[in-house]
């Protein structure tokens, strides 16, 4: 069973497509949990205990742990050990470097940290991604169209008549020989999310930007899944993790996740179907992987890629 199939099964069992970001920020945490790394661990443990039956995955962002120095890695390792096997772990490091270096990143994140998925920056091309996707039991979410305002600086650039993010989506779909690739597309750009869904085939899409960044949960759920026919993971972090600064922080986080799961259930069951706009332009040609884009990908295939 591929890592994507495992994720789909977990979503069905947990009845949730929500991923919770475990981004521990002392500036936002309840004050009594910021005095030491032990207290930060206690905060994370309480969050996991209160929410692990309501999510399909947890996503620690490595920067929040790396900024704590060597102790931060120990903290992350302890937190990862508390995450139950009933959900998956997505380590968000947005790695991307030459092949030899990438192989060490893959070893660190997959073998040492035991992540199920990692996030990858595709800017350096196939050889920087290959060491990650060679591990068929693990998955990679590759940045395609991100939720930050600066995404337009590069990701929207015209490349032969198409925006760069569509070229990225095409290439990743082509590399997805073992069903262990996915794409990252922000909820803050729902029309483009619908475009990517049409290119992505059966690949899962990781969707940040719902909650504190203002992305629509309904549009993310519908467009990201092609009306619940495809696999997507909706990530939330600050709006849930820091829903309360008081002693009830874990219970409030649980309540917020229950609201999100209930909202997705209502959308899926059709309670709001008549109010839902159709995806833009019905995406002509996207569902066929846009033949001209697929040809372009084939022409740029690395010489050694046929072994994948």
Q: What is the pLDDT of residue 288?
A: 39
Structure tokens at 67: 């900024």
Checking if the pLDDT of 118 tops 60, the result is yes
C-beta of residue 203 within 8 angstroms of C-beta of residue 183:
yes
Residue 214 confidence (pLDDT): 83
94 is catalytic: yes
pLDDT of residue 290: 46
Please write the tens of the pLDDT for every residue from 37-92.
Answer: 999 999 999 999 999 999 999 999 999 999 999 999 999 999 999 999 999 999 99
Query: What residues have CB less than 8 Å from 42, skipping those under 6 apart?
Result: 33
Q: Which residue in the list 94, 230, 268, 301 is annotated as catalytic?
A: 94
Which residue(s) pair with 232 in the sheet?
205
- pLDDT tens for 273-284 read 434 444 444 443
Question: What pLDDT is stored for residue 147 in this prediction?
Answer: 87
Closest by CA to 235, choosing from 205, 267, 194, is: 205
Residue 132, pLDDT > 90, answer yes
- Residue 216's contacts (CB-CB under 8 Å, 6 or more residues apart) are 187, 190, 210
Among 114-123, 206-215, 224-233, 245-254, the range scoring the smallest mean pLDDT is: 206-215
Q: Which residue has the higher pLDDT, 274 or 143?
A: 143
Please report the pLDDT score of residue 272 as a whole number.
Answer: 52
CATH numbers and ranges of domains, the chain: 3-307 (3.20.20.70)
Tokens 């019905």 -> residue: 282
């Amino acid at each position: 069973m591929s890592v994507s199939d495992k994720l789909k099964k977990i979503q069905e069992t947990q009845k949730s497509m929500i991923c919770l970001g475990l981004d521990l920020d002392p500036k936002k945490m309840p004050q009594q949990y910021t005095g030491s790394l032990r207290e930060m661990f206690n905060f994370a443990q309480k969050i996991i205990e209160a929410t692990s039956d309501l999510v399909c995955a947890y996503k620690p962002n490595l920067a929040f742990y790396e900024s704590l120095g060597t102790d931060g890695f120990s903290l992350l390792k302890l937190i990862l050990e508390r995450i139950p096997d009933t959900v998956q772990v997505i380590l968000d490091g947005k790695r991307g470097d030459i092949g030899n270096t990438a192989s060490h990143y893959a070893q660190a994140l997959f073998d040492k940290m035991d992540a199920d998925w990692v996030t990858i920056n595709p800017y350096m091309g196939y050889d920087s991604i290959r060491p990650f996707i060679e591990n068929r039991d693990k998955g990679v979410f590759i940045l395609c169209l991100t939720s930050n305002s600066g995404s337009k600086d590069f990701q929207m650039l015209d490349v032969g008549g198409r925006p760069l993010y569509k070229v990225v989506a095409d290439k990743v779909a082509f590399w997805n020989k073992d069903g262990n690739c996915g794409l990252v597309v922000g909820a803050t750009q729902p029309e483009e999310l619908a475009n990517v869904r049409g290119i992505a085939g059966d690949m899962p899409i990781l969707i940040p930007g719902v909650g504190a960044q203002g992305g629509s949960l309904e549009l993310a759920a519908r467009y990201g899944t092609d009306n619940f026919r495809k696999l997507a993971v909706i990530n939330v972090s600050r709006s849930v993790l820091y829903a309360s600064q008081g002693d009830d922080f874990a219970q409030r986080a649980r309540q917020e996740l229950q609201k999100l799961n209930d909202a997705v259930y209502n959308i899926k069951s059709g309670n709001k179907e008549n109010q839902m706009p159709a995806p833009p332009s019905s995406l002509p040609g996207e569902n066929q992987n846009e033949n001209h884009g697929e040809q372009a990908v084939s022409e740029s295939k690395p010489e050694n890629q046929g072994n994948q």
